[in-house]
Structure 1
């Protein structure tokens, strides 16, 4: 038995199975771990969303979260000690600019300064993300992502933070998962601001990309490179062999996957999606593709699952529904489908990025992990990592320029509207004591990544 007392649950891959410059990492996001009540952080629309009855499980919020704000040094030790090369973190707009604009919060700037220096001291490459969903509430009051002015606000914020830390980050991404920022939050209502409004969704779907382009330009003006776009993907399969199901799955793919890559890399949105969203789009949106298409240096792919899609029988766009699939599922009730990761890497490479480096910026699974006898065994997560790393390796063997793989997440954390039950972490967090306990998957990664 290994000295740490863990059973021999191993990864089937090691560093030697990947190129020497391939980076392995783990990821978190600011609102999910830092604790929004600390350090002069302003109120975000997630704080107000969670304060509204019925929006989140048990009304849980990120006020304390994992208290990473005070525990960041030992958390970075966990990243280093697992053998990772990089740490993907996000910056809280609300922490730096409590009003969204205007005067910066010095405590916030100092925090990220210390955090980046702490990564470098531990030999970790800082992979920064500017926005992971915690929009300052004063900007939400002005319409948030529905308001075209958000592109300018976001660019100003990007300039502010990168003037402070841009000289030390290895990569910088703009907006994490624009589908979640726009569609999930403005059409489906599942995330802040909790709207179910097709006009709001159409505007957010456009403005999120306009903001991405403007912020990328702002960072370029500071002399930065290694700038990227991070999009999330779901594999959409027809629920049956009917033409109607195939059409519904294609439309789901358009909304979720093709919209954002089309805007950035092709200067156009998918025609099938515009059939529904076109009447609600901002006037003259086509003139913005020059900014939206500002060149990026790499693409980040976040991938978790596939969905089976069928028509819902209505005549209201998008007129589709999800059908439960037959594959094994994670604790999020998401099907485990590694083939989808292989698909999106090769599909994006062949159809959009055409040679740009690709990073898998998020991949992981939630499980009902339990601490028992001072340890957390999570063999299902190890199997998940094995299968998805296998999909990455196959894509690379076929010529896809994948440069890194980043596991979501370092810590069990606040899983947005689902509260604290869904544990994605490589490290178990006791949300009463905030004690950290590395899981078997963390130990397995440490053995596989040992130099």
Structure 2
């Protein structure tokens, strides 16, 4: 049951699905003429990956895609959110098209549709072509036009069958991990680069939306990760810290898209590293979108910390359950996030495009069951939180569990499992976990199973 007394319920046409991303599951990164991405390079940089793991095989989805679609059908998924590996389609990132890579995604879309599963492709989920990184990557202002060219290739190939597109996934993670702290590809550490990378990501989003308005026929949006910030105390320093943290992680991406301006706090955070952006750029970024994707995992209780440059914030540990990635389980934060978006940005159509948890999975029992009660409880609470937000008038239209499969959790390698389906990486055997069985029942009952213990 949910933590509230309200009945859990969802609209009759609510879209139930699951999500993955290309580099995390596909494997075969250079197969059939594909080019390398920055993640092939990063995984081969000594000391950057847990246990030296790479995505060379991952879940072998590039070869097992048909079986994986059959698994989705078995679970009852109504939608599948996946990403396209840019370098599979354009090995150099621009120019020459690799038809064999393009055809992989066309076959995948056809198979999904044959199984009554709505394809939800994301154009960029972190795996920038390495050849574009050699030209500056997200620091090169030309990247926005490169991205639009790539987007147009995908629209021309798939828009006759794809009803809903996403431009970017989690631009904050790309820049915070890849350009400020160096924990993710391409592994840079510069407060001067991070704002430029963020801005060019948003410009690329804008050009891709413009291209879709010219050539597409359906719907397009962007996916951001939101982590609501709560003040550790009511002191002036902590309240100011919360505003900086929220501006940096949340409003930095949504304010320009919906409101046409960056939050004022970013100037305070980055100081001399914060550029003055042209009005034309902000107009480009503020293209009308048809929907917003929200990835939610946890909240952050924030306090002032003068030593944590440049944000000058720190997290305060709570007396609560934490996932194996160190994230507090706090379902109320999802309701708070969705109602905040409604209030600040005019209640756009929203899909929860990622939500899930990494917990230890016990060994498979003799009867074949993989019992993951903490993940089951996580989904129960967070789905109830989505229902609560809908009850408060939020226009939430769908939910994608993260993740369909245990996969390569970026620099954490295979050490953290988010899947509702267990993957034995030695044999590639898939086994539906208890959380996957719960989710199948959620889909089949349109959420009503959550009203029963």
What's the counterpart of residue 108 of structure 2?
A: 115
Greater CA drift, 424-433 or 238-247? 238-247
Q: How does 1:52-451 map to 2 (within 5 A)?
A: 52-277=45-270, 279-282=272-275, 284-314=277-307, 316-352=309-345, 354-373=346-365, 374-450=368-444
What's the counterpart of residue 21 of structure 2?
A: 29
Deviation per residue, 1:344-399 (Å, 9 max, x gap)? 111111111x1321110100001111332332111111111111111111111111
CA separation of 1:315 and 1:29: change in aligned 2, threshold 3 A: closer
SS at match of 2:174: helix
> How far did residue 226 of structure 1 move?
1.2
Q: Verify the 8 A CA contact 1:262 1:270 in the aligned structure 2.
A: yes
Q: Distance in 1 between matches of 2:324 and 2:61?
A: 24
Greater CA drift, 52-61 or 318-327? 318-327
Q: Verify the 8 A CA contact 1:216 1:227 in the aligned structure 2.
A: yes
Greater CA drift, 401-410 or 179-188? 179-188
Greater CA drift, 238-247 or 253-262? 238-247
Q: Distance in 2 between matches of 1:122 and 1:156?
A: 31
> How far did residue 278 of structure 1 move?
5.7
Deviation per residue, 1:285-324 (Å, 9 max, x gap)? 3331111001000111100001222222238422222232
What's the counterpart of residue 6 of structure 1?
A: none
Q: Distance in 2 between matches of 1:183 and 1:41?
A: 27
Matched residue count: 441
SS at match of 2:24: helix
What's the counterpart of residue 5 of structure 1?
A: none
TM-score, normalized by length of structure 1?
Answer: 0.94
Deviation per residue, 1:190-216 (Å, 9 max, x gap)? 111111101110101111100000011
Greater CA drift, 412-421 or 376-385? 376-385
SS at match of 2:192: helix
Q: Segments of 4+ in structure 1 off by > 4 A?
A: none
Q: Distance in 2 between matches of 1:385 and 1:316?
A: 35
SS at match of 2:227: strand
Greater CA drift, 178-187 or 23-32? 178-187
The root-mean-square deviation of aligned C-alpha atoms, in Å, is: 2.0
CA separation of 1:222 and 1:447: change in aligned 2, threshold 3 A: same
Q: Verify the 8 A CA contact 1:309 1:320 in the aligned structure 2.
A: yes
Task: Note the residue ranges of structure 2 that are not aligned, 5 or more in a row.
Answer: 446-453
Q: Distance in 1 between matches of 2:304 and 2:60?
A: 44
SS at match of 1:58: helix
Q: Distance in 2 between matches of 1:372 and 1:309?
A: 39
Deviation per residue, 1:209-252 (Å, 9 max, x gap)? 00000011112211332111111011222234432222112211
Q: Distance in 1 between matches of 2:89 and 2:68?
A: 21
Greater CA drift, 216-225 or 329-338? 216-225
Q: Distance in 2 between matches of 1:415 and 1:314?
A: 29
Deviation per residue, 1:96-153 (Å, 9 max, x gap)? 1111011111111110000000100000011110000000001111111111111011
Q: Verify the 8 A CA contact 2:209 2:287 in the aligned structure 1.
A: yes
What's the counterpart of residue 449 of structure 2?
A: none
Q: Verify the 8 A CA contact 1:37 1:64 in the aligned structure 2.
A: no
Q: Verify the 8 A CA contact 1:306 1:337 in the aligned structure 2.
A: yes
Q: Distance in 2 between matches of 1:175 and 1:196?
A: 22
TM-score, normalized by length of structure 2?
Answer: 0.93
SS at match of 2:422: strand
